[in-house]
Amino acid sequence: MYETEAECAYTLFVVATFWLTEALPLSVTALLPSLMLPMFGIMPSKKVASAYFKDFHLLLIGVICLATSIEKWNLHKRIALKMVMMVGVNPAWLTLGFMSSTAFLSMWLSNTSTAAMVMPIAEAVVQQIINAEAEVEATQMTYFNGSTNHGLEIDESVNGHEINERKEKTKPVPGYNNDTGKISSKVELEKNSGMGTKYRTKKGHVTCKLMCLCIAYSSTIGGLTTITGTSTNLIFAEYFNTRYPDCRCLNFGSWFTFSFPAALIILLLSWIWLQWLFLGFNFKEMFKCGKTKTVQQKACAEVIKQEYQKLGPIRYQEIVTLVLFIIMALLWFSRDPGFVPGWSALFSEYPGFATDSTVALLIGLLFFLIPAKRLTKTTPTGEIVAFDYSPLITWKEFQSFMPWDIAILVGGGFALADGCEESGLSKWIGNKLSPLGSLPAWLIILISSLMVTSLTEVASNPATITLFLPILSPLAEAIHVNPLYILIPSTLCTSFAFLLPVANPPNAIVFSYGHLKVIDMVKAGLGVNIVGVAVVMLGICTWIVPMFDLYTYPSWAPAMSNETMP
């Protein structure tokens, strides 16, 4: 190894060590490349600084504008409650309803804030069921009397200061997966676990466990579906488009096309696995028609209905936010769908100039322009006149939601990747890994997927993918394999942090409610991890192959001849 490569490798080692141990905040560690790369003479400071703000950051800003408006006007709660009401109150269908609504929300919002928003609703539903069982035992009633138990009503500050404390620790920020805030101390979680309630029956306790795990896992699974759903997807997309600018095959529509089937299968299999593990899986009971609802089911339906009614009729601000949300999604999908020309063809003179961030910024600016309500004042004559208007979101509200720590972390990863490329370290790593070309491609993919899945249980998801991308890309090039063939499954598997409460913030949020033990999460998470890796392996060998011609080494990859894998 030459001197420049060695110095870059040392920089990579120092940054990786700090990211894994979290001796410094992750975003502070991400600033180290801006200090070390110029000092070692690998890259000039101006060039390093330019890596800290890229197209990714513009896309993030637009998405945060949307997410800020969604949460400000409570559109997310309306969507979640409506979806749960649609699936019914049978325990199995209820958990599926919560998983579906949570996964849908996490496609567009932060996984962390989605879990923090849905979990109090699920907790109130479960406690209402437990309360109904107690009432039946006490009064021998055969139906729930419909009275409101104020102790079980959902409140934005459920469990008081504990909820506020959790929000401060995890800093839920919509629009990305805020998994940089790995919970470093399991003791803190165990302290919060003391808020658990008493369970009259074992089934009540098991139901609480099941609901907690459903919320945590579905918030992570939903984030797989869109490029903006989680920060690891965004990091991969920006890294890939920067390293392979001639590809132009990875955009919002193409990502959704291959990831949605995978996420849907993982969600359904995870639901089946959790149902079987905790409650058993009785198909006859689930699909039995005309059955009279039990007291618990009536109680569950009642609390969901009450919470939906509290929202009142849909407001003007929610309608506008929903319309802008739909327009943004449609523009993303139709920019360059692949099977037909998209609207980007209108700017054929400037190919590749308009990206997903263009759409995000266009819609994001509208949130600051469209009025949410008029501001009025009373004149000396007693006349009420409008003197100004309040937009859908304000800059102060946007700033409170914008994840600047993620922006810096991602920028540090890009700077590190540029340093590896400039110093020749990436090429050196690729040459050293070239003997792996003798292994079957599927085995290399499986090994890399298992490696990132294991590491992400104890390290930040963004840090994990940032460390592996500069290694896996040269590996793919060295062994003449389409880079997407290795990078796509590795990126998806980086989100599979299901085993431990400290693995990601959604796990920590549900664990803090006190219903779960670590062993519960390990048993359930191991099954979901296996399901996730298996489905990703299935997808990369079947429906994803023709989308990107994965069995052929592409012309957009550097200095390799086109040849088909054996």
- Looking at residues 15-44, what average pLDDT do you find? 87
Confidence (pLDDT) at 292? 64
Compare 115 and 324 and report the one with higher pLDDT.
Answer: 324
Q: Which helix H or strand E contains 362, and what residues bound it?
A: helix 356-369
The CA distance from 241 to 541, in Å, is 23
Q: Do strands 371-378 and 384-391 pair parallel, antiparallel, or not at all (unpaired)?
A: antiparallel
Confidence (pLDDT) at 450? 92
Pair 538, 474: CB distance under 8 Å: no
What is the token pair recorded at 380?
A: 């000396």
- Looking at residues 429-448, what average pLDDT do you find? 82
Q: Is 454 exposed, middle or buried (0-12, 13-18, 19+ CB in 10 A)?
A: middle
- Looking at residues 276-282, what average pLDDT do you find? 80
The 10 Å CB-count burial string (b at 16+, else e) for 422-447 is: bbbbbbbbbeebeebeeeebeebbbe
Residue 164 has pLDDT above 90, yes or no: no
Residue with tokens 């997966």: 177
Residue 60 has pLDDT above 60, yes or no: yes
Residue 273 has pLDDT above 90, yes or no: yes
Residue 470 has pLDDT above 60, yes or no: yes
The CA distance from 11 to 258, in Å, is 35
The CA distance from 121 to 175, in Å, is 21
- What are 328-353's pLDDT values in tens digits? 888 887 887 766 777 887 887 877 78
Residue 81 has pLDDT above 80, yes or no: no
Domain map (residue ranges) of the chain = 58-72+315-392
Confidence (pLDDT) at 291? 60
Share of the chain above pLDDT 90, in %: 22
The 10 Å CB-count burial string (b at 16+, else e) for 14-52 is: ebbebbbebeeebbebbbbbbebbbebebbeeeebeebb
What's the pTM? Answer: 0.70
Confidence (pLDDT) at 282? 67
The CA distance from 497 to 374, in Å, is 46
The CA distance from 552 to 561, in Å, is 10
Confidence (pLDDT) at 294? 67
Q: Which residues contact 348 (CB under 8 A, 6 or more apart)?
A: none
Mean pLDDT (the chain, rounded): 79
Pair 246, 556: CB distance under 8 Å: yes
The CA distance from 289 to 269, in Å, is 24
Compare 58 and 292 and report the one with higher pLDDT.
Answer: 58
- Looking at residues 471-477, what average pLDDT do you find? 88
Q: Is 174 left (phi over 0), alpha (psi -120 to 50) or beta?
A: beta
Q: Which helix H or strand E contains 388, and what residues bound it?
A: strand 384-391
Residue with tokens 């198909």: 283
- Looking at residues 54-72, what average pLDDT do you find? 85
Residue 361 is which amino acid?
A: L
Where does 396-447 show beta strands of DSSP type E? none
Compare 320 and 354 and report the one with higher pLDDT.
Answer: 320
Handedness of CA 128, 133, 135, 136 (dihedral sign): positive
Q: What does the CA dihedral 366, 367, 370, 372 come to, rounded to 10 degrees?
A: 170
Residue with tokens 């797989």: 224
C-beta contacts of 539-548 below 8 A and 24+ residues apart: 539/258, 539/261, 539/262, 539/489, 540/445, 540/485, 540/488, 540/489, 541/442, 543/258, 543/261, 544/258, 544/488, 547/254, 547/257, 547/258, 547/338, 548/249, 548/482, 548/484
DSSP for 201-258? SHHHHHHHHHHHHHHHHHHHHHTTSSTTSSHHHHHHHHHHHHH-TTT---SHHHHHHH
Specify which residues 552 forms β-bridges with.
Answer: 564
- What are 241-255's pLDDT values in tens digits? 888 988 878 888 889
Q: Is 228 exposed, middle or buried (0-12, 13-18, 19+ CB in 10 A)?
A: buried
